[in-house]
Structure 1
Amino acid sequence: MRIRITTVAVLTGGLLLCGASGQALEKTPVLSLEVAQKAAAACRALAAQKNWRMAVAVVDSGANTIVFERMDRSFLGSADIAVRKARASANFPFPTSAVGDLSLDKNGKPAPVPGFAWTPGVVTYGGGLPIMAGAVHIGGIGASGAAPEEDEQCAKAGLEAIKDLLK
């Protein structure tokens, strides 16, 4: 009898805690599949317009892939690079192009954070951008297949398409 009463008390307390934490999680912005698909579609549309063969990845705040698309005739290696760019931007709240500026200056000499470029999972060239919902970092988008500046333009098109959904 005594064991059952204790078990019920522990379970009831646990359920109350789960209920309270569940409410807190609902208020935290989360990158949905629908929003990720819209961002990827906008990136793909710009790439098609510019005749770029692009791979696009959108990841959540845990750097887990939500959407991945590889356009016809895009480079096979671009697939992995797009995902890496998206993950890097999900792990750090700044564009991947900024990583290069942190680790090496324009002359190739060490900058404020030398060695950062050699950290596993870090990408040092354009095409990866963080996805922010207000001040909350909720994911990243990565594009690869053209020049780094063009990859970044593509990722920016994805962010522009979802900006009103992220407020």
Structure 2
Amino acid sequence: MLENGIVDWNAITAISNISLSVLTLLALAVTLYTVRVSNFPKGELLFRKEKRLYQIRFVNKRNVPIIITEIGFYIKMKKDKKINVLSRDTKRVKLEWADTKGFTKSKREIDLKLFKAGYSTGEKVIIVLFAKTTTNKLYTKKVRHIVGNTDIELSLNKATEVTGIDN
């Protein structure tokens, strides 16, 4: 490059051309990867626990439509390992980018179904939240749940007496 105090500009130009060619190929590879990945659907299952409610939200994270066919809660039975769906919504919904599909159930309803399935008060259960798409992709999230008071069944079957109302 430097010969007898004279700069060889041809060598410097060749080195810069090679480095620019490598950078261009690298930029092309990143662009192709981004285009390829952005064409695949991606969703996220979110869970929110409130005082008396369990809420599921499915959010579409990309600009590719996703059609949800089912969303809900299920458990795997402790004895035979069969899947027992506690509650679900089977209404088909098409979600565009950043759209959401929600599903809410009360803890009381879930406790009642768990009680009927053989679980007892205070027992720890893993409930699986799920959302299923038309491509049969299943998004899941596990949540710990403690089965509530078994008086729930009794209170649902009793008629409550209303007092203090004048006819």
TM-score, normalised by the number of residues in structure 2: 0.33
Instruction: Point out the structure with max Rg over C-alpha.
Output: 2
Q: Which has the higher helix share?
A: 1
TM-score of the two chains, using structure 1 as the length reference: 0.33
